[in-house]
Amino acid sequence: MAEHFAAVDVIRAKRDGKRLTDPQIDWVIDAYTRGVVADEQMSALAMAIFLNGMESAETARWTRAMVASGERLSLSVDRPTVDKHSTGGVGDKITLPLAPLVAACGAAVPQLSGRGLGHTGGTLDKLESIPGWRAQLTTEEIAEQLTKVGAVVCAATEGLAPADRKLYALRDVTGTVEAIPLIASSIMSKKIAEGADALVLDVKFGSGAFMKSADDARRLAEALVGIGVDHGLKVSALLTDMSVPLGRAVGNALEVAESVDVLRGGGPADVVELTVALAREMLSLAGISTDPAEVLASGGAYDTWAQMISAQGGDPDAELPRAQHVHVVEAPEDGVLATLDAYSVGVAGWRLGAGRARKEDPVQAGAGVLCLAKPGDEVRKGEPLLELHTDTPDAIPAALRDLEGSYTVAGSAPVRDSLVLDVIRG
């Protein structure tokens, strides 16, 4: 029979800086999932974890308990399975070209994704701008699509890590989102329950990322990789720069269109760079030697994309939604665009309708920001610099205020090295 604890004793232990025992962790996660531990008690425990942290073994056990709160997918496919997770950013559409690219190279990619909140976009919101595409699949449909197409991007099933779903919502309203042990266990519980053989993490840092500094991103990446290793997962993490929007499109349908350009062998250089870097790491973990750069440049991954979209009811050839109103921001002077702040652009896109303030809010498929110039580009006074797309023109003045001071034009721009700062492998 499983041990029983008083919730207040578990809270006091972590409040006083003690390490929670494995039985305490197993009990509190299970009891919270079943409603035996109340929200206010879990809120107190989450704040104690936020203030006092967790040892790596505690975090790994916490993750294990969250995985055990629900079902685990069984992916019986005849290819190695490998997934990718991004900690989120502005213009981060990488899953869209990456999943079909890695599948086209011979792996199977089961990508369970989420929706956007605040200034960071959500993969499901982007794909739902494609007419007919559906996010909700059954476990059987996921397995069938992986076998036939090699890639699936969809919402997590209801039975997957229900403890995380409940705890995530609680953290969002109790000021405990930023606790690295809780972030790491939240991400990894879903990914471990998903059942892939390997996982590559894109841990972002910079103004448009959740982690603002490279040091904080590294700590999170090390925690994530450590949990993966503890669970027998092949795992690695790339630290990537999110100080500037990724690509030129920020917004749902706008990012889908840009992703299709990349899949056809074109698209912005930074999107191509990061897609290829993540694909190489995923294929390495899967034991596949195909060069994804060649496959992407040839347009060879587009057919897999079209099959993936069609399999989920979407029309890959359909015209994407367009916003009813477009407002142009002009360059203030001649020169070189020196800076373009990712966070400001992301907030402006959210304000225009591309994102949501609460999980239940709707999004506009065509809303967002097009960055017609990126740092390093020459600009001329009066030429278009940014385009603001929205169905609600009353939102444009506030979006313009969000963009004040977000870009500078100078005689030159700092040279940015590779988007990838480092790779941490398990």
pLDDT digits 0-9 by tens, 360-388: 778 999 999 999 999 999 999 999 999 99
Can you tell me the distance from the alpha carbon of 357 to that of 424, in angstroms, rounded to the nearest whole number?
Answer: 33
Mean pLDDT for the chain overall: 94
Q: Which pLDDT belongs to residue 255?
A: 98
Can you tell me the distance from the alpha carbon of 292 to that of 271, in angstroms, rounded to the nearest whole number?
Answer: 14
Question: Worst-scoring range by mean pLDDT, 61-75, 88-102, 288-302?
Answer: 61-75
Question: Worst-scoring range by mean pLDDT, 123-132, 152-161, 277-286, 305-314?
Answer: 152-161
Among 14, 64, 85, 204, which one carries the catalytic annotation? 85
* Helix or strand (DSSP H, E) at 235: strand 234-241
Local confidence band at 5 (pLDDT 50, 70, 90 cut-offs): very high
Q: Is 164 a catalytic residue?
A: yes
Mean pLDDT of 234-243: 97
Q: Is 231 a catalytic residue?
A: no
pLDDT for residue 358 is more than 90: no
pLDDT for residue 397 is more than 70: yes
* Pair 229, 235: CB distance under 8 Å: yes
Tens of pLDDT, residue by residue over 183-211, are: 999 999 999 998 899 999 999 999 999 89
Q: Is 61 a catalytic residue?
A: no
Q: Is 92 a catalytic residue?
A: no
Q: Is 185 a catalytic residue?
A: no
Q: Which pLDDT belongs to residue 66?
A: 96
* Pair 84, 204: CB distance under 8 Å: no
Q: Whole-model pTM?
A: 0.94
Among 69, 86, 113, 186, which one carries the catalytic annotation? 186
Among 14, 61, 119, 171, which one carries the catalytic annotation? 171
- Higher-confidence residue of 415 and 125: namely 125
Local confidence band at 238 (pLDDT 50, 70, 90 cut-offs): very high
Mean pLDDT of 273-290: 98
The C-alpha angle with vertex 393 and arms to 391 and 394, in degrees rounded to 5, equals 125
Bridge-based pairing state of the strands 249-251 and 198-205: unpaired
Q: Which pLDDT belongs to residue 1?
A: 39
Question: Who's near 426: CB < 8 A, 6+ residues apart?
Answer: 225, 226, 228, 229, 233, 234, 235, 236
Local confidence band at 125 (pLDDT 50, 70, 90 cut-offs): very high
Q: Which pLDDT belongs to residue 365?
A: 96
Among 190, 248, 351, 389, which one carries the catalytic annotation? 190
Say what percent of the chain tops pLDDT 70. 99
Mean pLDDT of 113-119: 78
Among 83, 92, 125, 164, which one carries the catalytic annotation? 164
Q: Which pLDDT belongs to residue 416?
A: 79
Q: Which pLDDT belongs to residue 2?
A: 59
